[in-house]
Structure 1
Amino acid sequence: SSFGKIRVEGPDAERLLNHVCGNDMSVPVGKIVYTQFLNENGGIEADVTVTRLSETAFIVVTPAATRLADQTRLAAHAGDLRVTVTDATAAEGVLAVMGPKSRDLMARISPADFSSAAFPFGTAREVEVGFGLARAHRVSYVGELGWELYVSADMCAHIFEVIQEEAHDLGPTLVGMHAMDSLRIEKAFRHFGHDITPEDHVIDAGLGFAVKTDKPGFIGRDAVLRRKEAGPEMRMVQFLLTDPEPLLYHNEPILKDGEFVGYTSSGAYGHALGAAVGMGYVPAAIAAEDHGWEIEVAGTRVAARASLRPMYDPRSERMRA
């Protein structure tokens, strides 16, 4: 998979993660926490999920491209703490089962209960699949109902075959990174390295919900408090072209009432929304305005809708169904 996996283990594992992460790591076993590693300026050094496996063990799931940087950052802050930071990427593969029929498929391949009551969003547990075991994480980067199955490397092929056999009449489709990018941008999920970087403040990025400022002593806390008090300077906005033909990639100029106000940070075609979708930062003072937006595509200005909320499933009802 395109995930890096970093195990953080030891009596002080929670303490280390609470220092490096903006969100609260003092959670029950089986809880998945979406969080960022921040720098002292409130910029985003990493965008990850952290799952508590036991009282003394966590797994940090990070983009494969930043795994080494994220592991190095954790190890650098470990100091004299009683904790080990280990790359576990090669030990596990990830099979993502996503879509409206994913619960039906999961019920076919495992005797576990995948109802929302028994398996709520943002939790993980071990389940039987075929002749093996998988750790099922109920999370989604595509904005749909689904589970990520973390499987030991030696069992990946077998469990993949089980999934394929049981899904034959459900219309399964194998998809890759471009399909995932199209789905995530419709949901306005940020992409690290494009939409969020060490230069982008977590509050401006619209990710303040994942930072718990009542937690003392984490990196970037003072910068977050200052920005919350002063208000964001820029805001991340989702754009949808009104013309279904042009494509967006990134770095296209954003215009408001004919004036340049920023660049798109990422773009892809939104098949559910019916046109190209882009993300981009604009001055906070104009971010909520719903008229006068254009994006310049190959020298041509194209009218666009703008929204601070996801245009696709803004209340996340599909993902949390």
Structure 2
Amino acid sequence: MSKNAKTLAGIVIVVVIAIAAYFGFTHTGAKSTSDKTIKDLKVYFVPSKQPDKIVTATAPLKGLLKDQLKKEGYTVDNVDIKVGTSYEAAGEALTSGTADIGFIPGGTYVMYEDGVKPLLTATRAGLNKNFSDAAKWNDGKPTEQIKEQSSKYRSIFIAGPSAKGQELAKKVNAGQKLTWDDLSSAKWGLSSTTSSAGYIYPSLWLNKNYKKTVADLKNTVTVDSYGSGMARLASGQIDIMPTYGDARRDFAKLWTTDYQQPKSIWEETNVIGVSQEIYNDTISVSKKSKTMTPEFEKALSKAFINLAKTKEGKQVIAIYSHEGYEPAKSSNYDGERAAQKVLKNSQK
């Protein structure tokens, strides 16, 4: 073979290899990016209600979410739902990538934001009581929902039927400002340290009004859910419990049945403190999850927004009093960041 022929043959071989490599690469890449089948999708919930009730209520979510994602072009083989043992457990699962999706409060998101991204903010029916003045909540009448949707709520500090609880309520309803001694002498039931309504915003309120935080309270117990906290409040084991604004609506029936109280929750409890407004819970996703591509996040957002518009979907998300979803903004949760800064500074 001549020198020119050899050179030509070598060029042909190189070109053939290059073409093969190009098509092989693009074919492989196309297969990877167009693969819309997901084997397992792991969803975590925080235990803000009794875990067994959350598990029962959210069971239909598996099929509903699969159906909505199918409409967005994704096939999901299995949806695994778990309730974290604590708010932190849900945050850590998302951060590590062992959970893909989390129904978590804004406070939990902010605590773990290095590994967690907020996708959606929940909307709820607004309330006819949304006062910054605690006494205005205490008319003895039920808090009612209104038609207008809201992406915000307040933390209210409920005083129970115990002697101390009634003592503090009497002062508030008489228009008197509570002293730090009034508050610190009461027994508080506090939620997880990443709970917006049950821990973070109460700290911000105490800091604003008394230059203190919940860390300065000497007489506290940790409640693992609002349900167990309400039971303790009813029995007098605790005097005060911070919780979300419509919590008394959620536990009104249990108050006189399971908790065996002689009068209604509206007669036996009073609000003694009210936080600034808080953005609602998030549907957040893990930054570590390989499943969470930008394309899938968009599809997931649409799926949850559309799911919340269906009768079956509304029944599922009602366990958290969610009624719909809107795109989340990280800046909406600057209140949590400010509160957690206060908490960190108080621990130094």
TM-score, normalised via structure 2 length: 0.24
| Structure with a larger share of its residues in helix | 2
Higher CA-based Rg = 2
| Structure with a larger share of its residues in strand | 1
Greater RCO, 1 or 2 (C-alpha within 8 Å, sep 6+): 2
